[in-house]
């Protein structure tokens, strides 16, 4: 099939994206993603060959970035409010870090279901349903009277928010081949990573100006706005599969889990990227309690770290065309491991300061920003027939690892030491995962060559 089959103009899409409005939207999309793909004339100008599939329209990359970002926004924006919420609800630091862990568990669990549901019913209706749950849970959290009800509301907020995490990336892969998808995912990651850099600063400002509950009012409003945008502007990109049953879903998951390549890329991507959540959940207590910085500065330090993610994603989107996905991924993982080791060394030296810990942390996030889109592209490309399920399983592994890292840091005596150990261990395991995946791909390529 020609490349233009993936670069449709909106014909055959849902209401709201066809006709002149859809053409304007897609022309804007083309300008946003200029340079990421070589896109020939539109299918409306080139007749389809007999039996060729109707082209699927490109969804706006900025909208995919927003829905993907919304899932983690609710976690990042709440981080600076943890000490304030703990005092208000009369609980300790560990219990409030548990609220982050519950959110990550919700993100992990939800993605196991969104992938298969999206493969069966389409990306668009499933994503809109998730945004409805995200918005409703935000309103419930706004009025939660205690830590128990808040944690439950956060869990369901995560279940809704993870729809964007799983399906936003799958919709990119739906409409591009692996090399082009890696470039577009890097751009998507760049847009998304800018959000968590701003979110903690915004959360700190809301706590200082109003109250920690104002954060959930804002999140509910964001969910409602995204719901309206997706209803009007989001086309369907998936090819719906009929007759999917629970047994089929389990078969797809087992097939993926039996693939050493998928396991390696997923393990590597999860450990390299979301080990950072262990540090994020501990960051208010590290900066405020150990380094004696005001709570308003926590968001600024996290924003500086996220600059590393953004820079890594930007560099990856350029390097992947020249160096290839695998080289960029391995080099990025090694850079992240070096940054994690340097951070742990500073903590163990007993001379911890903001000036000494920030450069290693930025190096770590730079490596994570480069490795993340590469690992994701490889993982969900292992079996193109179940991209949605692969994206969901990958996202589940990411958030499950993030929840584990957050819990491990919370039970430790010193949050800085715990965060350092989690970062180093995560990067080391991630590097091992990439090695397993690379070895599996080389063995498969060798068998295919021998068969020919």
pLDDT digits (tens, 9 = 90+) for 336-352: 999 999 999 999 998 89
CA angle at 401 for the pair 397 and 402, rounded to the nearest 5°? 120
In order of 4, 295, 347, the CA distances from 9 in angstroms are 9, 48, 54
Sign of CA dihedral 104, 78, 376, 178: positive
* Axis-axis angle for helices 178-209, 61-76 (nearest 10): 40
C-alpha–C-alpha distance, residues 66 and 195, integer Å: 9
pLDDT, average across residues 18-43: 37
Residue 16 pLDDT exceeds 70:
no
Candidate ranges 80-84, 296-300, 307-311, 367-371; pick with highest mean pLDDT: 367-371
Beta bridge partners of 34: 37
Enumerate domains of the chain plus CATH numbers. 61-444 (1.20.1250.20)
Please, which residues have CB within 8 angstroms of residue 243's CB and are 6 or more apart in sequence?
none
Average pLDDT, the chain: 79
Q: Are 78 and 204 in contact (CB under 8 A)?
A: no
Provide the pLDDT for residue 186.
Answer: 72
Where is average pLDDT lowest: 133-137, 157-161, 174-178, 324-328?
Answer: 174-178
pLDDT, average across residues 170-177: 74
Residue 42 DSSP symbol: -
Provide the pLDDT for residue 334.
Answer: 94
Structure-block tokens of residue 48: 């389809």
Residue 216 pLDDT exceeds 70:
yes
15 backbone dihedrals φ, ψ, rounded to 5°: -60, 140
57 backbone dihedrals φ, ψ, rounded to 5°: -75, 150
Name the residue among 78, 115, 76 with its Cα closest to residue 241: 115
- Residue 303: how many other CB atoms lie within 10 Å: 18
Measured distance between the N- and C-terminal CA atoms of the chain, rounded to whole angstroms: 23
Provide the pLDDT for residue 15.
Answer: 35
Confidence of residue 355 (pLDDT cuts 50, 70, 90): very high
- Residue 44: how many other CB atoms lie within 10 Å: 13
Confidence of residue 100 (pLDDT cuts 50, 70, 90): confident
Provide the pLDDT for residue 452.
Answer: 62
Confidence of residue 143 (pLDDT cuts 50, 70, 90): very high
Residue 167 pLDDT exceeds 60:
yes
pLDDT, average across residues 98-108: 86
C-alpha–C-alpha distance, residues 89 and 436, integer Å: 46
C-alpha–C-alpha distance, residues 389 and 215, integer Å: 32
Confidence of residue 17 (pLDDT cuts 50, 70, 90): very low
C-alpha–C-alpha distance, residues 266 and 398, integer Å: 8
pLDDT digits (tens, 9 = 90+) for 286-299: 998 889 888 778 88
pTM: 0.70
Where is average pLDDT lowest: 73-87, 227-241, 321-335, 402-416?
Answer: 227-241
Q: Are 400 and 102 in contact (CB under 8 A)?
A: no
Confidence of residue 410 (pLDDT cuts 50, 70, 90): confident
34 backbone dihedrals φ, ψ, rounded to 5°: -60, 130
Provide the pLDDT for residue 222.
Answer: 94
Confidence of residue 18 (pLDDT cuts 50, 70, 90): very low
C-alpha–C-alpha distance, residues 275 and 404, integer Å: 9
C-alpha–C-alpha distance, residues 75 and 283, integer Å: 13
Please, which residues have CB within 8 angstroms of residue 96's CB and are 6 or more apart in sequence?
82, 83, 85, 86, 89, 147
Q: What percent of the chain has pLDDT over 90?
A: 27
Name the residue among 316, 435, 333, 334 with its Cα closest to residue 370: 316
């Amino acid at each position: 099939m020609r490349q233009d089959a993936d670069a449709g103009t909106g014909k055959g899409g849902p209401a709201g994206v066809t006709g002149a409005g859809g053409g304007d939207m897609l022309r804007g999309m083309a300008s946003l993603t200029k340079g990421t793909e070589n896109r020939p004339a539109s299918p409306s100008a080139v007749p389809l060959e007999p039996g060729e599939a109707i082209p699927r329209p490109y969804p706006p990359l900025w909208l995919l970035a927003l829905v993907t970002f919304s899932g983690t926004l609710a976690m990042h924006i709440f981080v600076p409010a943890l000490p304030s919420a703990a005092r208000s609800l009369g609980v300790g630091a560990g219990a409030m870090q548990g609220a982050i862990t519950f959110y990550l568990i919700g993100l992990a669990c939800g993605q196991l279901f969104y992938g298969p549901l999206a493969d069966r019913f389409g990306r668009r209706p499933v994503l809109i349903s998730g945004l409805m749950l995200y918005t409703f849970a935000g309103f419930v959290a706004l009025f939660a009277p205690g830590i128990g009800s808040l944690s439950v509301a956060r869990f369901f907020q995560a279940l809704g928010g993870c729809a964007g995490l799983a399906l936003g990336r799958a919709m990119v892969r739906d409409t591009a081949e692996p090399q082009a998808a890696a470039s577009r995912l890097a751009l998507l990651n760049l847009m998304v990573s800018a959000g968590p850099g701003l979110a903690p600063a915004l959360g700190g400002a809301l706590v200082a100006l109003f109250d920690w509950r104002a954060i959930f009012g804002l999140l509910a409003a964001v969910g409602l706005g995204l719901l309206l945008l997706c209803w009007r502007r989001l086309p369907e990109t998936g090819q719906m599969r009929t007759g999917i049953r629970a047994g089929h879903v389990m078969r797809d998951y087992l097939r993926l889990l039996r693939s050493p390549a998928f396991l390696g890329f997923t393990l590597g991507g999860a450990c390299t990227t979301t080990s950072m959540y262990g540090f994020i959940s501990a960051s208010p207590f590290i900066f405020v309690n150990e380094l004696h910085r005001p709570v308003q500065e926590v968001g600024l330090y996290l924003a500086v770290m996220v600059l590393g993610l953004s820079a890594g994603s930007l560099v990856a989107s350029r390097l992947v065309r020249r160096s290839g996905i695998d080289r960029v991924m391995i080099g990025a993982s090694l850079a992240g491991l070096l940054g994690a080791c340097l951070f742990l060394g500073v903590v163990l030296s007993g001379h911890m300061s903001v000036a000494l810990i920030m450069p290693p942390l930025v190096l770590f996030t730079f490596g994570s920003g480069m490795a993340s889109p590469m690992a994701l592209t490889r993982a969900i490309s292992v079996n193109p027939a179940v991209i949605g399920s692969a994206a969901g399983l990958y996202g589940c592994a990411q958030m499950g690892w993030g929840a584990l890292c957050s819990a491990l840091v919370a039970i430790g005596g010193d949050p800085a030491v715990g965060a350092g150990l989690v970062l180093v261990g995560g990067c080391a395991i991630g590097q091992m995962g990439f090695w397993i995946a690379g070895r599996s791909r080389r063995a498969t390529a060798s068998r295919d060559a021998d068969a020919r």
